[in-house]
Amino acid sequence: MKNLIFSISLMIVVIGLYAQSESNPRIKISDVMIQGGFQNYNRFNLDIADFNLLAPGNSYLVNNFSDYSRSMGMHDQGGMFSVTIGLSFLDAEKQTYKANPILRVGIYNARTSPASIYYSRQQSYAYDTLTSSATGQQYFIDSIACSSYDMNYNSEHLGLTLSAQFSTDPERRVSLFAGVGMVAAFSFNSHTTISNSEYSILSSDDVVYNEYPQISGDWNFSAEGYSNKTSSMISAGIPLGIDFRIAKANPFWSQIHLVYEIKPSVCSVTIPELKSYTSTGITSTMGLRVAW
């Protein structure tokens, strides 16, 4: 994956340098930008029936979870990465290139975990009674059996990103920009993981005697994984950001820009085993832009 991104990035740079050799083409590559950050979307509301379709035949899903407490992650926080080029257009007189709009096109990659369910249960049993030899006071020790099931659907998406951006004066040291954009991508390495943890702790008057059962060995963990079909994703959003030119006079550093961007978005994901889900969220990225 890293080799693919590096190859595409190198190709974009080469194309950009080659495009500058032509005499006033109608469209020219004006910059290359690399962005990385996080996207935070609301998670899908799945249930046991859905995970039975994502993980058919899983031995854990046949359990009766009526006496378990259920929780769901509210947000899917995943990393994202993109490499884009900026395209500028000749004005009507075909003399100079317009500052607005700039069309951005490139590749997009993100890891997501859009759906999860967590079931947990604790059951207390009388374990032992301790009597103080000094005071004769009795202490009742309980054994608490803890059981949990964690169900997660994960995927990684690779696709194309396209946006039209308008900015304030790009010749200034600091400029602001806004626009509209979309992403279309397909998943690879989509998979579902169902895991189970079983352990016991000893407790008396809220004092836990074996607080870390994972270390003491009183902990059993097992997991089963399932490969899923390729899903598709399309999103639309409004990129908003600030562009900071590192220098204004220096010929080299004046081409280097630092960019911070947030993008409120609506996203639709189609999971072949289930259906299409729509979610809203926001993406936050830092970027490095080289303009010429």
What 3 state SS string does the chain have?
A: CHHHHHHHHHHHHHHHHHHCCCCCCCEEEEEEEEEEEEEEEECCCCCHHHHHHHCCCCCHHHCCCCCCEEECCCEEEEEEEEEEEEEEEECCCCCCECCCCEEEEEEEEEEEEEEEEEEEEEEEEEEEEEECCCCCCEEEEEEEEEEEEEEEEEEEEEEEEEEEEEECCCCCCEEEEEEEEEEEEEEEEEEEEEEEEEEEEEEECCEECCCCHHHHCCEEEEEEEEECCCCEEEEEECCEEEEEECCCCCCCHHHEEEEEEEEEEEEEEECCCCCEEEEEEEEEEEEEEEEC
Domains of the chain: 2-121+150-202+222-291 (2.40.160.20)
Task: Please give the residue that has the higher pLDDT: either 110 or 93.
Answer: 110
Say yes or no to pLDDT of 19 above 70.
no
Task: Say if pTM beats, i.e. exceeds, 0.85.
Answer: no
Say yes or no to pLDDT of 291 above 70.
yes
Say yes or no to pLDDT of 1 above 60.
no
The per-residue pLDDT for 113 is 86
User: d(Cα 49, Cα 90) in Å, to the nearest integer?
Assistant: 56
**Range 126-132 average pLDDT:** 70
The per-residue pLDDT for 25 is 84
The per-residue pLDDT for 114 is 85
The per-residue pLDDT for 64 is 92
The per-residue pLDDT for 207 is 62
The per-residue pLDDT for 2 is 53
**Range 104-117 average pLDDT:** 92
Q: pLDDT-derived band of residue 15, with 50, 70 and 90 as boundaries?
A: low
**Range 69-78 average pLDDT:** 81
Task: Spell out the residues 6+ positions from residue 8 whose beta carbon is closer than 8 angstroms to its own.
Answer: 83, 107
**Range 66-90 average pLDDT:** 89
The per-residue pLDDT for 3 is 46
Which tens digits make up the pLDDT trace of 233-244?
999 999 999 999
Q: pLDDT-derived band of residue 270, with 50, 70 and 90 as boundaries?
A: very high
The per-residue pLDDT for 284 is 96
Which tens digits make up the pLDDT trace of 194-214?
999 998 877 776 565 555 665
Task: Please give the residue that has the higher pLDDT: either 217 or 37.
Answer: 37
The per-residue pLDDT for 145 is 87
Q: pLDDT-derived band of residue 91, with 50, 70 and 90 as boundaries?
A: confident
Q: Output the average pLDDT for the chain.
A: 86
